[in-house]
Structures are given as structure tokens and as C-alpha cells.
Structure 1
Amino acid sequence: MLRLHARPRLAGFAFAVMALAAASSPAHALNILLTNDDGCAAPGIAAVRKALQDAGHRVVTVGPATNQSGSGAAYAVPDGRTRLVVDPLAGSAETFCVHRVKPTFVAGSALNSTNPDYISSGSPVDATAMGLKIVAPESGFTPDLVVSGANFGENLSDSIPHSGTVMNVLYAARRGVPGIALSVGVDFAEARSGFPGTIAAFPKAGAFLARVIATLEASRGAGQPLLPVAHPLSINYPVGGAPAGVRLTVPGTVDSFTTAYRRNADNTVSIDVGAAETEPAALARTAETPAFLAKYITISPLDVDFRPTPLARGLFNRSRRELANLAP
């Protein structure tokens, strides 16, 4: 499993917790590409779109056609058997939904399972790629920032590799565009009632994100990006009452819950929610999961660079020289 580490030295970002809470002046207008993994018409992305537009930004939204949670960095590979369709969402200007279709697909035909040439929804990364590579150039739109979310459910530490929400901003960062992923927590006790606490928190999380962007905008130097491109942010917003505050954190090693698997008598396997594991003591004070479980909004910088440090590479080369002598 890929583990993304936020380096402790990044804790000295150019914004302070108190400034985040107090920022109220409108940000300069930015070009923001908005995406997600819950779908182009999901309530979280709609709430964030409104908050960003209310703050004066131009927002172009490109999302997967339907909910693709948990698909991580999956994307349509260039296999000659798949094409993408970028379809405007009815009733919402500058909002687009991404689908996968077969090469035999006829333009204007049904974008659903009634069409034998329809495959499925595009993935989150498909949507971000379409936003950056197709929609933005065609619209004369150069994104200053990619925002992904607000996701339906937190994306913390151990769940990061599975998160399309977070992988969207890592994809953007590797293509030179800074990004912020925004996730809103769920209370599993609300599962049967449709998670009303999460739905109610989406506008609040969107307003908080707008304040984050305003604060970053106020402190950046002339000609500088809003964030270091290689270090997108992951913000997790709790539910269940007013947040306790804001914490600058790093991804740790445990999620806010565990996934419990159980084999049944009919040979199926049940997937249930289990209790959160305990963060190792060395990370407990800085990791995002303990802070999130204590009802803090967490802001964690991520590291987009998958390469090892020069020290780690040197240690590997010295300790595993025999690998280079294997027969090809």
C-alpha cells in the first residue's frame, strides 16, 4: 500500500490557525477547477461550488458521472477499447460529468446502462484529467487551484490511498497545479437516516474552505502559487456539533475506523465498520486522526514526491547491491 507522508518541516506553513478562524475579507478571484469522487451532482460538490462562487471565484466543475468513492487513483487506461464523454450537467453552468463509453458509442445516444456502448461513470482522476486537459483549455480557463470535494466521509491517514478525493489533488500536483482536498466526516449511527449531520455540515465546510483560500491568498507573494505545488492540502471537517477548533496535522498510520471482514455461512464476506485503532505514541500529538476524533478540523500537507530521500536511496543501494547483479 502506498503511504504518503507529510514531512514535519511543512508545519511552518505561511498561515496560522488563528488567522484561518478570523479571516473574513474576500479573496481575490481565482480560477478554480472543482472535482470530487462522489459524482458531479453530489451535495458536497454543490455546496463547495456555491461557497467558492460566493467568495468571488470562477469555478469550473468536472466530476465523475456517479459516485466513485474508494476508487483511489484509478483512471481509463489507453487500451483502445475505452473513450470518455464529458457531458454538461443540465441546469448548472460550467459543470460537467465524465462517462466511459466504447469506441462504437454514437454521440448523442444514451449515457446510461440502456445503451450497450455505455461502460460506466468516469473515475475521479478521469474527471480531474478532463478538467485540466480538455475542459480548461477549451474554455480559456487556466486553473490557479484544484479543489476536490467536499467528500461524503473523512479521508484520514490510512484511507488516503483509497480516496479519489485526495488522489485528485495529487494528480493535479504532479501536473503543476496546487490543490486542496476537502472531506466531511460521517457518523455511522446516521447511516439509516441518510447521514443528515454530514449533509448539514457541507455548507459550513465549504465556507471554511473559502476562508482557508482567502488566508492563503492574503499571505502569498507576488507571482507565487497559492500553495507549494508539491504539497497539496487535505482538510477533514468533523460532524456532530460545532468543531472544537483547527489543528495543523500530518497523516498518521490509522484511520478513524477500521473495516471488519467476516465470512458468512453462504460463503459471502460481510464488510462492517469497526472501532478506530490507536495511533502510535510517536505520532499521537501531530497525526490527524486523533485530532479529528476530538472534533477538530484537521489540515495536513501531503508530499506528492514518491521518490525516497537521498539517504534512504543510498542505504538501499548499499544494502541491496546483489539485486543489480541478477541475470536480466
Structure 2
Amino acid sequence: MRILLTNDDGVNAPGFAALRQIAAKFSDDIWTCGPTEERSGAGHSLTLSRPLRIYRYDDRNFAVDGTPTDSVLMAIAKLMKDNPPDLILSGVNRGANLAEDVSYSGTVSAAKEGTLAGIPAIALSQCYSKESAGNGVSFDTALQWSERTLTPLIALMRDKALGQGTLLNINFPACSADEVAGIRTVALGSHDYGRVKILTNKDPRGFEYHWFGLAPTDATPAHSSDLEAVRENMVSVTPLHLDMTHHESLTRLGQIFPQK
């Protein structure tokens, strides 16, 4: 099995090193292509206004000075054009990708791009607590729980059992590996939008700047959601689909504008 690894934290991120260890449990034919630097929050953006550069480390390891989407596209359409991957793993992201965060996530979007190309793709993220961030985020839980989580999922995806246009989003909880309560298949949750905060300050020259951040919330997450799962120290597994059409509304709109 040929596996392509990518991420949005950059190819030198600790989580990418963890992903290499995870992938090595499934194959020795591993390729990497990710952003040269952190591109968290880049979403599914594609660089169109400037040329891109590829940095080659060896025959199977590359970086692109662009977005996660750029990296996957470059790998599939150029670097691996004659030997495409059988599977794409994106991550391991430093921090959760839960609920609406998947819309902003470069990690999830890299997996989306692979799915668009018809390649099975899985996004992996390691949650962490604010208290642990100062000491460096540990990816041990992802490392310890990845094989038992991914083994059946990879088999399903390679057998096309999940259907066309489906990718998987996995979040490992912010606890030690021995505190994980299990693996749970759940839907996306919903954040309280009021948690978004904007920090305003002044730079050394006296000019004002603004920085987006997220305030913690004590709201109880919906039952059977990814937010609830990780709060209960479960590994969350959520299937995502590329078809964004709301079919019920499509039917209703069809009654207003009937087809001739």
C-alpha cells in the first residue's frame, strides 16, 4: 500500500513526525508532501495568484511553499502522477478539528482534496488541554491508539465500503493513552459561536493589530457528537461527505421553481 502523508502544521512539525510513525505500521512505501511552514486555518484554499516551489528532500519526501491543498494536488498531479497513492493520511494536527472547525481546517481539507481525486483519505488530530500546551503537545495518545483505530477503517475505505466522496475525521482526546475510554463513531457537533474572540494590541511601533482566538466554553455538547466523545476521553471517528447539497431543501425549492 502506497501512502501519502500531508498536514497543515508544516513538514517539520512534531505531529508530522508522529504521522510517519503511524504510517510505518501499515506500509514501507511512504511518501510525504506538505507545506513548508504552518498553514493552520487555511481551509481548502488553493494558491492561484503566484507560482509555487517544490522542495525535494529525497525521492519520496517533498514540501511545497503553499497550502495543504496545494501540497496534495502537487503530489497527485505531478510528483506521484505515475504511481498514485492508495491512501492519504493528513495530520497529526496539533489541536482538535471538531464540529465547525472542519470547515477551516487545512488538515481536513487536505484529506478532502484526496477524496476529490478518488483516493481514500483520513484526517487525524490530537486534542490537547490549555494547561499542557506550554510544555509541548504530546502525540503519545495518537501514537498508542492509531493502529487499533485505523486498521479496520483503512480496510473499509480500500474496499470502498463507505461510498464515494466520503472521508474520515479522527480526533484523539486530550488525555494519556491509558485514560482513553475507547473509540466512538459520532456526528459533527456544534460550537457556540460566541467563543470566538479577537485580541487587540499594539506592535512595537505603536500600530494596532488584531489576532483571532477561541475562548473556552463550558456548554454541554450535543449527545453522540464529536465534541462529547473527546470530552469523555473517547477517540472520535466522524465520516464526512463532499456533497454539500441539502437535498430536502432542494426538493422544496423545486416546488417553487418546477422543472420544465
For structure 1, list consecutive stretches of 5 or more residues without a partner in the other structure.
Answer: 1-29, 100-121
CA RMSD of aligned residues (A): 2.8
Q: Which residue of 2 aligns with 1:172?
A: 114
CA distance in structure 2 between the aligned counterparts of 1:72 and 1:61, rounded to whole angstroms: 19
Q: Measured at CA, do residues 58 and 225 of structure 1 come closer, stay the same or move farther in structure 2, by a change above 3 Å?
A: farther
1:291 counterpart (216, 229, 238):
229
Q: CA deviation at 1:209?
A: 2.9
Q: Which residue of 2 aligns with 1:62?
A: 33
Q: Which moved more, 1:63-72 or 1:240-249?
A: 240-249
How many residues get paired?
253
Pairs within 5 Å for 1:199-214: 199-201=138-140, 204-214=141-151
Highest RCO, 1 vs 2 (Cα 8 Å, sep ≥ 6): 1
Q: CA deviation at 1:305?
A: 0.7
TM score, norm. by length of structure 1:
0.69
Pairs within 5 Å for 1:1-328: 30-77=1-48, 79=49, 82-89=50-57, 94-99=60-65, 122-137=66-81, 140-193=82-135, 195=136, 198-201=137-140, 204-217=141-154, 224-225=159-160, 227-241=162-176, 242-254=179-191, 258-263=195-200, 268-269=209-210, 271-276=212-217, 278=219, 284-309=222-247, 311-319=248-256, 321=257
Q: Measured at CA, do residues 315 and 219 of structure 1 come closer, stay the same or move farther in structure 2, by a change above 3 Å?
A: closer
Q: Which moved more, 1:205-214 or 1:47-56?
A: 205-214
Structure 1 residue identity aligned to 2:142? A
TM score, norm. by length of structure 2:
0.85
Q: Provide the secondary structure at the position in 1 that maps to 2:153.
A: helix
Structure 1 residue identity aligned to 2:68? P
Structure 2 residue identity aligned to 1:87? Y
Q: Measured at CA, do residues 57 and 316 of structure 1 come closer, stay the same or move farther in structure 2, by a change above 3 Å?
A: farther
Deviations 1:144-198 (A, max 9, x none): 11110000101001211110000111121122111100000121123333x2xx3
CA distance in structure 2 between the aligned counterparts of 1:49 and 1:226, rounded to whole angstroms: 26
Q: CA deviation at 1:264?
A: 5.7
CA distance in structure 2 between the aligned counterparts of 1:178 and 1:262, rounded to whole angstroms: 39
CA distance in structure 1 between the aligned counterparts of 2:194 and 2:18, rounded to whole angstroms: 26
For structure 2, list consecutive stretches of 5 or more residues without a partner in the other structure.
Answer: none
Deviations 1:251-298 (A, max 9, x none): 121179933225569754454442226357xxx221110111222110
CA distance in structure 1 between the aligned counterparts of 2:194 and 2:24, rounded to whole angstroms: 34
CA distance in structure 1 between the aligned counterparts of 2:9 and 2:194, rounded to whole angstroms: 20
Q: Provide the secondary structure at the position in 1 that maps to 2:134.
A: helix
Q: CA deviation at 1:230?
A: 1.4
CA distance in structure 1 between the aligned counterparts of 2:109 and 2:145, rounded to whole angstroms: 21
Q: CA deviation at 1:229?
A: 3.7
CA contact (8 A) 1:157 1:255 kept: no
Structure 2 residue identity aligned to 1:32? I
Identity %: 27
CA contact (8 A) 1:178 1:228 kept: no
Q: Provide the secondary structure at the position in 1 that maps to 2:189.
A: coil
Q: Provide the secondary structure at the position in 1 that maps to 2:169.
A: strand
Q: Provide the secondary structure at the position in 2 that maps to 1:232.
A: strand
CA contact (8 A) 1:75 1:126 kept: yes
Q: Measured at CA, do residues 270 and 170 of structure 1 come closer, stay the same or move farther in structure 2, by a change above 3 Å?
A: closer
Q: Provide the secondary structure at the position in 1 that maps to 2:219.
A: coil
Q: Measured at CA, do residues 168 and 47 of structure 1 come closer, stay the same or move farther in structure 2, by a change above 3 Å?
A: same
Q: Normalized per residue, which structure has more strand?
A: 2
CA contact (8 A) 1:216 1:227 kept: no
Structure 1 residue identity aligned to 2:88? V
